[in-house]
Structure 1
Amino acid sequence: MDTPAPTPVMVVSGATGGMGSAVVEEIARSGATVALLGRNEKRLDRTRRSIQNRIGDAGRLVTYETDINSTASVDSFAARLMADLGRVDGLVHSAGDGPLAPLAETDDAMWQSTFNGKLMGAVRLARALAGPMASSGGGSMVMISGVFRKDPDPLFPVNSAINAALAVFAKSVSKDLGRSGIRVNVLDPGAVRTPLWDEIAKAIGERSGATAEEISAHVAAQSPLGTLAEPSDVAHTVGYLLSPAARHLTGAAITLDGGASAGL
C-alpha cells in the first residue's frame, strides 16, 4: 500500500493583512496546513477564525505570534513550528510596507523600519526555514514585493529602494537554495484593493486635491485592463508559485499590475 503524501505546511507572514489573509485562504483551500504569522495575537486569532469559518475542513490554520523584526523571535518560531508540525514546505513573506513620503519628508526611522521589516524580515525567515524546508524535501519561497521595484516612484523612494533590494536578495539565494530543492521567487503586485490601498489613495488624494475614489479610478485607468487587482488575484498567483506546477520557476520576479507599469 502506498504511503499517503504528508500534508504540506505553509508559512505566511503578514497574515492578517489584506493580501496576506487572502493568500492564507487560497492555500488553505488546497488542503495545506497554514501557519499564520503576526505580532498581534488577537488579530491573528480573529483572522484564523474568520478564514476557518469560510473554508470549513478544507485546510488547517495555526497561529504563531512572531515579530519578524527580531531574529530571536523568528528563530523561536521556526523551532516551535518544527516541534509542532514536523515539516515546512512553503514560505510567503507578505509583511512590511513603507511610507508615502518623497525624499525630503523621509527620516532615518522610515528607512530603517521598512528595511528591518520587509527586507530583513525576509532574510530572517528564509534563513530560519531554509534548513527545515530542505529536510522536508524542498519547497517554495515567495517574497511579495511591489511594482516600485522596477518602476520607482518619487512619492515612494523608501519602498522603491527596499523592493529592489528584496528582489536582489531573492535572486541571489535562489541560486544557493535551488541545490536543496527550494525555489525562491518574487511577486510584484501593483495597486491591490485592500484597506492599506484605501489609506494610500486617501493620502495621495490629500496631496493633489482629489478624493480616494478619484485616485483609485485614475490608477485603474493606467492599466490596459482598466482595473485594480483584488487580493484574490495575488493569492491565486502565489498559489501557483507554491505549487508543483511552478517546479521549474525560480529566481524570477513576476509583475501583477494589469500591464500598468512601464518597465520591462
Structure 2
Amino acid sequence: MDSTAPAPVIVVSGATGGMGSAVAEELARSGATVVLLGRDAARLERTRAGIDGRTGGVGRLVAYETDINSTASVDATVAAVVAGHGRVDGLVHAAGDGPLAPLDETTDDMWQTTFDGKLMGAVRLTRALTGPMTEAGGGSVVLVSGVFRKDPDPLFPVNSAVNAALAAFAKAVSKDLGRRGIRVNVLDPGAVRTPLWDEIAQAIGDRTGATADEVTAQVAAQTPLGTIADPADVARLAAFLLSPAALHVAGAAITLDGGASAGL
C-alpha cells in the first residue's frame, strides 16, 4: 500500500462468518480501515478483537451492528461510517446463505429469506455506498456468491437461483457504476472450509449415510486440485479485486473452486 495515501476504508458484510472474517483479516493486514457489519453486537466484537489480536493491531477495525435486511439500518450505518471515517472505498458483501433442500422440501420463507439477505442485501449496500464511493473518486464492490451460479445443484435450488440473480445484478450495475469509477465484480467460491461448510457436509452425510468428514473427503477427491478452499483463499482473491492490481477488472464473475465445477 502507498504509505503516502490514506488507508482505504472497506466495508465487509457478513463479517462474523467464516469467509467474511477471513476477508476482514486479510484487509486489516494490508493496513486498511475495515468496517465490520453484522447483526450480533457481541459476536461482532469478538470477531473484531480476534482479528486485532492476530494482526497485531495492523490496520483499523471498527464494528457496526447492522441489519442488511433493512434499508433504514443500512442507510444509517453508511451515514455513520462516512461521518466517522470521511470516505468509503470498497465493499465486500459476504453475507447470506441458503438451505440445503431440494425443491419439494423448500418453503416460501426459505426462498424469501435467502433472496432478501443475499441479493437484496447486496442491492441495499451497493446503492447506499455508491454516493460515498463516487465522492471518494471511485471504489470497488466484491459480491461473494458461489459456483451454483453457473453450475446449479438440485440440492440447492434456492442458492442456485439467488447466485444467478446476484451475478445478473452485478453485471447490470457494473455498466453504470463503472462510468463513476466503481468496479463491481462477483467472486464465486466452491466448497470452503468454514463452520457453514461443516453444517452442509453433515446435512449431506445425513442424506447419504456418510459422515461429514467422509463428505468433505469425497468433495476434495472430486476436485482436480485435490482439496477444498480455505477462507484465506477467498480473502486473498477478494483483496486482489479490491486493489489497484485489478483496476481493469469490472463486471466479471471469478470462480474459486479448484476446478471442480463443470460450468463454463
Report if TM-score (shorter chain) is over 0.5: yes
Structure 2 matches for 1:240-255, cutoff 5 A? 240-255=240-255
**Whole-angstrom CA distance in 1 between matches of 2:230 and 2:54:** 18
The answer as to 2:186 corresponding to 1:195 is no
**What amino acid is the match of 2:132?**
P
Pairing of 1:37-76 with structure 2 (within 5 A): 37-76=37-76
Deviations 1:104-144 (A, max 9, x none): 00010000000000000000000000110010010100000
Q: Which structure 1 segments of 5+ residues have no match?
A: none
Asked whether 1:10 is paired with 2:10, we answer: yes
Instruction: Report what 1:108 is aligned to.
Output: 108
Map 1:223-238; keep pairs closer than 5 Å: 223-238=223-238
The number of residue pairs the alignment matches comes to: 262
Work out the CA distance in 1 between the residues paired with 2:228 and 2:57.
31
Distance in 2 (alpha carbons) for counterparts of 1:187 and 1:93: 10
CA distance in 1, matches of 2:4, 2:24: 24
CA–CA separation in structure 2 for the residues paired with 1:8 and 1:153 = 37
2-side partners of 1:187 and 1:111: how far apart?
Answer: 22
The residue number in structure 1 matching 2:95 is 95
Alignment of 1:121-160 (within 5 A): 121-160=121-160
Per-residue CA distance 1:47-80 (angstroms, 9 max, x = gap): 0000001111310000000000000000000100
**Which amino acid in structure 2 is aligned with residue 99 of structure 1?**
P
Matching residue of 2:168: 168
Separation in structure 2 between the aligned mates of residue 57 and residue 149 of structure 1, nearest angstrom: 37
SS in 2 for 1:134: helix
CA distance in 2 between counterparts of 1:112 and 1:81 reads 29
Please name the residue that 1:218 is paired with.
Answer: 218
* One-letter amino acid matched to 1:23: V
Q: Distance in 2 between matches of 1:57 and 1:117?
A: 31
**Following TM superposition, by how much is the alpha carbon of 1:6 offset from its aligned partner in structure 2, in angstroms?**
1.4
**Deviation digits for residues 157-208 of structure 1, max 9, x if unmatched?**
0000000000000000000000110000000000000000000000000001
Structure 2 gap ranges (5+): none
Structure 1 residue 92: Cα displacement: 0.1
In structure 2, the residue matched to 1:184 is 184
Which string of whole-angstrom CA distances, capped at 9 and with x for unpartnered residues, describes residues 199-251 of structure 1? 00000000010000110011111111000100000001001000000000000
What does the per-residue CA deviation read over 1:1-56, in whole Å, with 9 as the maximum and x for residues that have no partner? xx932111000000000000000000111100000000000000000000001111
AA paired with 2:76? S
Partners in 2 of 1:221 and 1:243 — Cα distance? Answer: 33
Alignment pair present for 1:36 and 2:4: no
Cα distance in 1 between the residues matched to 2:121 and 2:64: 15
Alignment match, 2:23: 23
Structure-1 separation of matches of 2:58 and 2:97 = 30
1:120 counterpart = 2:120: yes
What SS is found at the alignment partner of 1:151? coil
Runs ≥4 residues deviating over 4 A: none
**TM-score, length basis structure 1:** 0.98
Letter in structure 2 aligned against 1:63: A
Structural RMSD (CA): 0.8
**SS of residue in 2 equivalent to 1:12:** strand
